[in-house]
Structure 1
Amino acid sequence: DKPTSGEYMLRIGEVHQSLHSLENEIPLRPDVLTLEGKLRECDTALVLVEQNLKKYSAALNLRNLQMFSVLLQNVEHDLERYSARIQVADTTLQGLRKELRILRRDSLLRQLYKDSVNRKLLLPHLRELRTAWRATDSLLQHNLNIVNTLKTGVSEKSIRASDLFNQIEERLTRSGIQAFSKEYNFLWEPAPTVTTEFKEELDNSYRSGRKALDFYFRDSSGQRALMWLLGIAFYLW
């Protein structure tokens, strides 16, 4: 039998409710929205290591390399956590997109669009439904774009961090070999010439090491505070 205008109206109301429910689920969680700033911090750390490896390679000592290695490991660990958050958000949004597509293929609404009499009668409600539909779809697409941008950022920084870590490990291996070589000239040998450029490299290397150290402690401050609290609780227990 042909549906009545009341049945059509009831279905329009149900779809409205479904769209409203979807719209409430679409917004991204705060821990995902803050990732843009977190990724900028990771990028700052990566740029710091990149600059040191390129500009001050001759002045980098074993301590610098080990510090950068630890810093990169922390960055990689952070990126793994960020990737997990992004994946959860992406899975949720993809599920909502499927639900929206199912609503779009609703058989009763399709039948209404073919029913010229009832379509004309319910036209104001159909326009409201279309507006709600577009708003929900636009919000969903906007958040999907944010998630895709974050996924790209995490992937790009993970590749950079891995490449830099491999470079650091290679230099640490070479430094380990050089540790057993002659460190200073013999008394009868002329003293090595220390150029102004090399002194500047040493100064810049030292400052960069301080930056890396500051970044590490700032990045891990929450974890260290938790460790202190757990230690105190364990001591009191």
Structure 2
Amino acid sequence: MRDHQRRRAARRGPGALPRRRGRGRGPGGLRRRGARQVTEPARVPVLNIANVLTMSRLVLVPVFLYLLFAEDGRQFWWRLGAFGVFAVASVTDHVDGNLARKLGLITDFGKIADPIADKALTGAALVGLSLLGELPWWVTVVIAVRELGVTLLRFWVIRHGVIPASRGGKAKTLVQIVAIGLYLLPLPAYLEPLAQVTMGAAVVLTVVTGVDYVIRAVRLRARGKRAVAGA
């Protein structure tokens, strides 16, 4: 065996480096599978810009409520401040999701905290407006029941898969934000019907998308059960 190794070294010529043992290992000792290196995926830190924005939205909720109820919610500048905080918090909802997807910052913490922050902001605004007597309680209850029901449905079907957000759901969220924003603004009397019509559209989209989510959840769960039974 040693004679064979000396003959191979002689063919490679003087000064040739000895070959290292350990097949299937590339530079740095990384294992190779075929022609490709197999590396461990990098762990995404929980403390990243996307999650910081999500948490800032939660922090802004009590600030928003303070501004909304200051001076019994009737003073122009306080209401304008409440609208500003709500608008900034709503923008962070769009920004943190985009950053998480583009920069690969999606974490389990973010998946849980993001919808909680969204519902906390929207729920605080709706309840606050109802407490001030500016929004009928039935509107707040309908939207709150829908959001809570969808959250429970997510847990109900989570072992079978995830239902992606539909265009209707995205439209519902946008119209809700616009409607709440209009109610928060100290609008002149002749523009109040605009806020009412927009909120009406938000309620309709809330109910319709809620029913659609129930149907898709039931179908997903049924498919999951059939797959398990046929395995």
TM-score range, shorter chain: 0.3 to 0.5
Comparing both structures, which one devotes a greater share of its residues to helix? Answer: 1
The structure with higher relative contact order (CA 8 Å, sep 6+) is: 1
> What TM-score does the superposition give when structure 1 sets the normalisation length?
0.36
> What TM-score does the superposition give when structure 2 sets the normalisation length?
0.37
